[in-house]
Amino acid sequence: MIRRLLSVLHARNLEFVRDRGTLVFTLLLPVTLVIGMGFVFGGPQRPLFKVGVLAGQEDRQAHPFLRERYVAFITLADDGAALRKVTHQQVDLLLDLRAPERYWVNTDSPKGYIVEKLLLAAEPAAVREPVTGAAVRYVDWLFPGILGMNMMFSCLFGVGYVVLRYRKSGFLKRLHATPLTAFEFLSAQVLSRLGLILLVTAILYAGIGAVIGFHNAGNLLLLALVGVVGALSMIALGLTIAARFSSEELVGGLLNVLTWPMMLLSGIWFSLEGSPPWVQWVAHVFPLTHVLDAARAVMLDGAGLPQIAPNLLYLAATALAFLAFGAWSFRWRIE
């Protein structure tokens, strides 16, 4: 079985490497993304302090610090989320005007240091609650989304169309006349695409990470595990679509039906926090949502295996389910 699998895997890799157009496109895309991200996010940031405020509207009017210039005051409702924003330096300081009055400042934040001076000048009796944590800019938050999106397109379209082409050309029919099983064939396709995706994602991670100055808060191997399991799940999903159909239009349409909801709901561009519960439930049906949740938890919060285990389990289960369904419904030839 391994020999047959390796034989197909080797041939598929040769085919990919020698398909110059696809190879250039695959390598050009990450480079273009790196350049684009550098252009969009590489410019200077506006000097602005942001202070989160936990308080009712009536408390705000009375406090002298809230009259400071060049400081944006953002009312926050959830204590836990507000504290995470300080930890990630998404706000420079968090002020709780409810009694007893206190504030949280990130001791790793230079802007937090300065805005603290402003606060203490206005209210010397405020109680200090120090926290630590590296800054999370939008670009840092977006970074896993870009990686995940690229992975999703490569997984779904890369595998789906290759299998479709093999079926239409009659190559699958020829393979069917050999001892090769559908599971072996599909596994070889999955492994070939997985290797490519990991390589491209690593290039993107290193390239974009260098351009935007990203620092991973978590374990890189754990992040790689998220990438592997996530890619497996999405490749297997692509195979379920390509498993039996022979029309490019149909397969293309079905793949679009899958990718667009993931583009919008899986949290690539913006967080779904605060959206209706049913939207969040639907979003968590998609593998990409679990990939991004787990990747952000590792990359931004430094989460360990226990924290992302539910996401990994979901991805592993869907990968197996999709692959099993794909092998079961697989058609070697055009009906």
Q: Does 98 bind another protein (CB under 8 A)?
A: no
Q: How far is the CB of 324 from another protein (least distance, A)?
A: 21
- End-to-end distance of the chain based on CA atoms, in angstroms? 27
Q: How far is the CB of 166 from another protein (least distance, A)?
A: 8
Q: Which positions ≥6 away from 305 have C-beta within 8 Å?
A: 222, 312
Cβ distance 82 to 105 under 8 Å?
no
Dihedrals phi, psi of 66, to nearest 5 degrees: -75, -5
Amino acid at 141: W
Q: What part of residues 13-72 is at the interface with another protein (CB under 8 A)?
A: 14-15, 17-19
Pick from 83, 93, 156, 180: which binds another protein (CB under 8 A)? 180
Q: What part of residues 149-178 is at the interface with another protein (CB under 8 A)?
A: 166, 169-171, 173-178
Calpha distance 48→43 (Å, rounded):
15
Q: How far is the CB of 14 from another protein (least distance, A)?
A: 6
Number of chain positions touching another protein (CB under 8 A): 27
Neighbours of 80 (CB within 10 A): 7
For residues 50 and 244, which CB has a smaller minimum distance to another protein in the complex? 244
What tokens were used for 40? 């969009």
The CA-atom distances, in angstroms, between 175 and each of 8, 15, 170, 185 are 10, 16, 9, 9
For residues 184 and 293, which CB has a smaller minimum distance to another protein in the complex? 184
The CA-atom distances, in angstroms, between 117 and each of 68, 93, 106, 121 are 12, 11, 13, 6
For residues 71 and 175, which CB has a smaller minimum distance to another protein in the complex? 175
Q: Does 256 bind another protein (CB under 8 A)?
A: no
Q: Does 12 bind another protein (CB under 8 A)?
A: yes
Contacts with another protein, residue ranges (CB under 8 A): 3-4, 6-8, 10-12, 14-15, 17-19, 166, 169-171, 173-180, 332-333
